[in-house]
């Protein structure tokens, strides 16, 4: 299951019989200190994910914020970015060879008072990236101390959803990319859905730093899709605190579906020799994961790091 919005409780996204379905989800949690890195890729150039390349016009954007305040605070940033190759954003089907990447970024802070001191830098570049760079990068460092019962609520949310249909001269297939057609397939269908979320709930005091990164377009077939998120919560040593105080939650999750390429011809003779020659349109590999942390009370240190890459070569 996958959370599809930027709230601690939302809807879940599930892959059933080659289609996405949504259903309500209930969060579960545990307390831990983990650095997590996941990767998914196959060196065979006919068996893995491909990123769409960017459009001819390039956009760059930077947002720099520095806030020192004693009182209510409301600050947020959001971005929804979709890129399609061999198709358009208005398509209701995924055609032959079509690639779609969708990146979602949400960041918000809200308090009803208290002392806040923070810096946030966000940068976006829509040009094609390599494995060492990202389209979206955002870093934030802040300290907060509640006064007169005030508290801080914050949320970071990252989503990377990359889908691709097989490449052939066949007619278009439905949005469920694993169809029933029979053609020679140089590149198979795939569907990757990955997200990361960090939340502050009734946060009373402490220092918080986060870093968010997403890579969603690339002109080289070897460029992998990428998502990275880091969060650290610690006491504000400038105030002599021994621990941060509040509730901190993180959630990392993904659903991966991969098909195989068809390495035989469409002749009946070849099919008879290989009983699996027509399995290119069926799910050949799935990978579903979820990692959750929920810490409440006095927090001396919380560090979480999540990294994800998926592509033909890693």
**What's the mean per-residue pLDDT of the chain?**
76
Query: How many whole angstroms separate alpha carbon 302 and alpha carbon 295?
Result: 8
The yes-or-no verdict on residue 179 having pLDDT over 70 is: no
Query: How many whole angstroms separate alpha carbon 43 and alpha carbon 48?
Result: 8
Strands 34-41 and 302-311, sheet pairing: parallel
Which of 142-146, 152-156, 173-177, 254-258 comes out lowest in average pLDDT?
A: 173-177
The CA angle 155-38-107, to the nearest 5 degrees, is 15
The yes-or-no verdict on residue 177 having pLDDT over 90 is: no
Residue 7, CA distances (Å) to 1, 200, 201, 239 in order: 15, 11, 11, 31
What's CA 282's distance to the chain center, in Å? Answer: 24
Which of 134-148, 264-278, 294-308 comes out lowest in average pLDDT?
A: 264-278
pLDDT of residue 175: 37
When pLDDT is averaged across residues 246-258 and rounded to a whole number, the result is 92
pLDDT classification of 280: cutoffs 50, 70, 90:
low
Domain boundaries, the chain: 34-311
43-47 long-range Cβ contacts below 8 angstroms, 24+ apart: 43/312, 43/313, 44/261, 44/312, 45/221, 45/312, 46/186, 46/187, 46/188, 46/261, 46/263, 47/188, 47/258, 47/260, 47/261
The yes-or-no verdict on residue 110 having pLDDT over 50 is: yes
The yes-or-no verdict on residue 269 having pLDDT over 60 is: no
pLDDT of residue 185: 43
* pTM, 2 dp: 0.74
The secondary structure element, H or E, covering residue 21 is strand 19-24
- Work out the percent of the chain whose per-residue pLDDT is above 90: 44
pLDDT classification of 36: cutoffs 50, 70, 90:
very low
Strand partners of residue 93? none
pLDDT classification of 298: cutoffs 50, 70, 90:
very high
pLDDT classification of 53: cutoffs 50, 70, 90:
confident
Q: How much helix, strand and coil, in percent to the nearest 5, is found in the chain?
A: 5, 55, 40
Plot region of 63 (φ>0 → left; ψ -120 to 50 → alpha; else → beta): beta
């Amino acid at each position: 299951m996958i959370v599809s919005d930027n709230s601690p409780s939302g809807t879940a996204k599930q892959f059933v019989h080659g289609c996405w379905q949504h259903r309500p989800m209930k969060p579960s949690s545990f307390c831990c200190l983990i650095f997590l890195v996941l990767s998914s890729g196959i060196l065979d150039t006919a068996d893995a994910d491909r990123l769409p390349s960017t459009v001819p016009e390039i956009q760059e954007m930077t947002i720099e914020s520095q806030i020192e305040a004693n009182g209510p605070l409301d600050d947020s940033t959001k971005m929804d970015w979709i890129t399609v190759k061999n198709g358009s954003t208005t398509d209701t089907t995924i055609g032959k060879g079509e690639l779609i990447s969708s990146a979602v970024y949400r960041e918000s802070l809200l308090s009803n008072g208290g002392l806040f001191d923070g810096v946030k830098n966000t940068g976006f570049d829509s040009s094609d990236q390599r494995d060492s760079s990202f389209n979206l990068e955002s870093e934030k460092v802040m300290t907060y101390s509640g006064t007169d019962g005030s508290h801080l609520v914050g949320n970071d949310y990252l989503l990377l959803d990359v889908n691709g249909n097989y490449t052939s001269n066949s007619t278009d297939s439905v949005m469920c990319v694993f169809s029933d057609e029979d053609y020679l397939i140089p590149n198979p269908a795939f569907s990757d859905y990955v997200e990361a979320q960090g939340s502050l709930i009734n946060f009373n005091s402490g220092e918080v730093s986060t870093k968010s990164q997403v890579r969603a377009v690339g002109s080289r077939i070897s460029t992998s899709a990428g998502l990275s998120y880091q969060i650290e919560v610690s006491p504000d040593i400038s105030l002599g605190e021994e621990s941060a105080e509040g509730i901190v939650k993180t959630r990392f999750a993904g659903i991966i579906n991969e098909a195989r390429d068809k390495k035989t011809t469409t002749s009946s003779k070849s099919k008879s020799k290989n009983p699996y020659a027509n399995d290119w349109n069926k799910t050949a590999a799935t990978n579903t994961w979820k990692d959750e942390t929920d810490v409440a009370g006095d927090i001396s240190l919380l560090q979480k790091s999540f990294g994800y890459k998926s592509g033909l070569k890693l």
